[in-house]
């Protein structure tokens, strides 16, 4: 993955549950005009209504996950809200080989590991404008039972405390504006302005 012939960058985007990151990323990449692919992670959590295996996540059993850990198939993995989530090496390598940059939508623990492994990684943190927004959005989404919702809310403050370690922070006030801001940021990351002579 350190092959200098591959121009792709690694980009991490994190944000607490309810920050809107999945929607923002899906919308930002949907036009297909940016040479970036989202890495599909593996998770042991059950699919939410509408989520598709191989699109939103690879939904694996805890046994399958443990075997892949043993075989060293993950670039990083973490336990989050009582479930396991991981980035497959082969997923990232495939996109880089195809000439794309890769966007990892991973939590703050994963971001920390990736930063150590790849000092060139660019990191983005997405947050909601206000603490109360996370609960509001999670309840509106209606995908979590009460216990899962409470676990996710309890983690929000901890995750926010990591935001300063990221290169960029985006505040998701308005979906269209945030998608536009992320697209502009991604373009700048891929095509940095030439240094002044």
- Residues of the shown chain interacting with ligand 5GP in the complex, contacts defined by CB under 6 A: 14, 17, 41, 45, 76, 78, 80, 85-87, 105-107, 109-110
Give the residue nearest to ligand 5GP (CB).
110
Half-sphere exposure of 140 (CA within 13 A, CB side): 10
Q: Which is nearer to ligand 5GP, 82 or 99 (CB)?
A: 82
**Tokens linked to 86:** 């991981």
User: Is the Cβ–Cβ distance between 126 and 178 less than 8 Å?
Assistant: yes
Shortest distance in whole angstroms from residue 197 CB to ligand 5GP: 41
Closer to ligand 5GP by CB, 107 or 133: give it. Answer: 107
For 44, phi and psi rounded to 5 degrees? -95, -5
At how many degrees (to 10) do helices 146-160 and 131-141 cross?
A: 150
| Smallest distance, ligand 5GP to C-beta of residue 105, A | 5
**8-state DSSP, 138:** H
- Beta carbon of residue 52, minimum distance to ligand 5GP (angstroms, whole number): 13
| In the complex, least distance from residue 24 CB atom to ligand 5GP, rounded to whole angstroms | 12
The smaller minimum CB distance to ligand 5GP, of residues 39 and 185, is found at 39
Pick 165 or 192: Cβ nearer ligand 5GP: 165
* Closest by Cα among 112, 149, 141, 121 to 21: 141
Do the beta carbons of residue 149 and residue 137 sit within 8 Å?
Answer: no
Q: Which is nearer to ligand 5GP, 104 or 185 (CB)?
A: 104
Q: Could you tell me the two tokens for 136?
A: 């509001």
Closer of 38 and 183 to ligand 5GP (Cβ) = 38
Calculated CA dihedral for residues 35, 51, 48, 179, nearest 10 degrees = 30
What CA–CA distance (Å, rounded) separates 18 from 7? Answer: 33
To the nearest whole angstrom, how small is the minimum distance from the Cβ of residue 69 to ligand 5GP?
12
Contact indicator for 26, 55 with CB cutoff of 8 Å = no
Least separation in angstroms between residue 25's CB and ligand 5GP is: 10
């Amino acid at each position: 993955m350190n092959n200098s012939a591959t121009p792709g960058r690694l980009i991490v985007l994190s944000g607490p549950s309810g920050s809107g990151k999945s929607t923002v990323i899906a919308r930002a990449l949907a036009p297909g005009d940016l040479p970036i692919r989202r890495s599909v992670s593996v998770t042991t959590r059950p699919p939410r209504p509408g989520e598709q295996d191989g699109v939103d996540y690879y939904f694996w059993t805890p046994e399958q996950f443990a075997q892949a850990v043993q075989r060293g198939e993950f670039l990083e993995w973490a336990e989050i809200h009582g479930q396991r989530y991981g980035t497959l090496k082969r997923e990232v390598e495939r996109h880089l080989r195809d000439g794309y940059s890769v966007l990892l939508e991973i939590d703050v623990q994963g971001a920390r590991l990736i930063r150590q492994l790849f000092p060139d990684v660019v990191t983005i943190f997405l947050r909601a404008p206000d603490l109360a927004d996370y609960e509001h959005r999670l309840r509106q989404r209606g995908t979590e039972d009460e216990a899962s919702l409470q676990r996710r809310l309890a983690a929000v403050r901890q995750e926010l405390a990591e935001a300063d370690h990221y290169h960029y922070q985006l505040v998701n006030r308005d979906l269209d504006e945030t998608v536009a801001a992320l697209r502009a940021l991604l373009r700048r990351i891929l095509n940095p302005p030439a240094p002044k002579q």
